[in-house]
Amino acid sequence: MTTTPEDIARSVTDLVSMPEICTRLMEVINDEHRSLDDVAELIQNDPALTAHILRLANSPFYGQSGRIDTLPKAMMLTGTQAIVSLVLATCSVQALSRLPQGRIDLHAFWHHAVTVAAIARSLSVRHRQAPPDRAFLAGLLHDVGLLALAVTAPEMATLLEVKRASWPGPSHRLEETWMGYHHGHVGAALLRRWGFPDCITLAVANHHEPRAEDGHYALQLTVQAADAIAHRHDESLAKNKETLPWPGAALEFLGLDGGVVDEVQTDVRQHMDQLARMIMQPARAA
């Protein structure tokens, strides 16, 4: 029987679940009758999560530098969507880091994910065609399908790793050849099961080949560009043997020139170590 992305996603959710507060938060933000106060109250019911979110909101990456001391103030200064995205990011890292590690180096995996997230947010701030905090969340989760495959289909993951050494094209094409789908499709299926919004699941599904007809095209292009930039310039432990095609067409569509890439790299590099430590904190605690 052929295994589908939905089968893999189901196996993952049988192993781990999102923290209850994250599930309830998505219910609140999808209910038009609920208010911003409801969002704040829900998050504040978890003191540890609230403290973590305030540390993130006060980080230099968000430009607040210690000005935020309460959750309502954080929502006012950084935006409710920014806080919601940080909560979803924290919950996702926490849940996925409880999976059996297998052959995946979780530290390297999350460091690369945070790099892509930070670049995606910085690109989005500049082109203003997609919400920066959704770009951050989609960038952070773009490769979660790789974790899912490593845990639920280890034999296939091992086979792909062997085949990749002699494969002439991009890795996602190899996955499609052997499985009929790639890790982006698996990640999107998992996030759909967890109730993530369509804009995030589409960006994850299509981060190698954005599809305008699917919607949220600018967000898809932003994550694609961020991933390619990270693969080419990443100086972390997450160095990847594969160099993705340079996203010139994506950057052009988004109205960004080549000089912006250097600006973004400088911006991200200044804050990367601290941001990675803070985002990865739930992984160490899981």
Q: Which of 54-68, 153-167, 200-214 has the highest mean pLDDT?
A: 200-214
Residue recorded with tokens 């209850």: 20
pLDDT of residue 131 exceeding 60, the answer is: yes
pLDDT digits (tens, 9 = 90+) for 3-33: 899 999 999 999 999 999 999 998 888 888 8
Task: Give the CATH fold of the 5-285 domain.
Answer: Hypothetical protein af1432 (1.10.3210)
pLDDT at 78: 87
Q: What is the pLDDT of residues 35-77, one digit of tens each?
A: 888 889 999 999 999 999 999 988 888 877 778 889 999 998 8
The pLDDT score that the predictor gives to residue 236 is 46
Answer yes or no: is pLDDT of 132 > 70. Answer: yes
pLDDT at 102: 67
Q: What is the pLDDT of residue 77?
A: 87
Q: How far is CA 118 from CA 29, 34, 160, 279, in A?
A: 24, 30, 28, 11
4 Cα distance to chain centroid: 22
- Residue 28 Cα to chain centre, angstroms: 21
**Domain residues of the chain, as ranges?**
5-285
If you average pLDDT over every residue of the chain, what do you get?
89
Query: What's this model's pTM, rounded to 2 decimal places?
Result: 0.92
* Residue for token pair 């960004």: 256
Q: 158 or 235, which is more confident?
A: 158
Query: 214, 152, 139, 211: which is closest to 179 by C-alpha?
Result: 152
Q: What is the largest CA-CA distance in the chain?
A: 56
